[in-house]
Amino acid sequence: MIDTLFRKRTDNIYLQFFRYIFVGGTAFVVDFFFLYFFSDICGIYYLISAVLSFIISVLVNYIMSTRWVFNQDNIDNKVLEFNLFILISSIGLVFTEILLYFFTDICGLYYLISKVISAAIVLFWNFIARRVMFYGKNFL
């Protein structure tokens, strides 16, 4: 069971989603830490900090997603692969920025709480887009 969940290559959407949650959780911790660091420690406006933390966390997500979640370590054109990954992630960043602004500036939530809510919503966009558009697999 552990071997199937964590080691074997798979195209099973449920196993991939489980792995993606794990990878996304790791990338989220990196993103959340740097968002806090840039905003509260360095004094950078939270929406700018969100972009900076995104850049760092997307690299973590890229490496883990391509090799472990979607089993794509054999793609020949790594530049194209990375650019497509960045494109999908950047759309997710736009969603995140809009949601952060909405929850923080309109609803009055603390920006780190807004980040948690935004991340939960954008997670589904990122998974579906990467699975369907980037890796050419069916949604189900």
What SS3 state is found at 73? Answer: coil
Tally of structural domains, the chain: 1
pTM, full prediction: 0.76
Residue showing tokens 């999908």: 88
Range of the domain at 121: 2-134
User: What is the spatial distance between Cα 26 and Cα 122, in angstroms, rounded to a whole number?
Assistant: 15
Model pLDDT for residues 24-44, shown as the tens digit of each residue: 889 999 999 999 999 999 999
Q: Which of 136, 24, 129 is closest to 72 using CA atoms?
A: 136
Would residue 139 count as lying in a domain?
no
Residue showing tokens 């890229």: 62
Model pLDDT for residues 77-96, shown as the tens digit of each residue: 678 778 888 888 899 999 99
Would residue 66 count as lying in a domain?
yes
Would residue 140 count as lying in a domain?
no
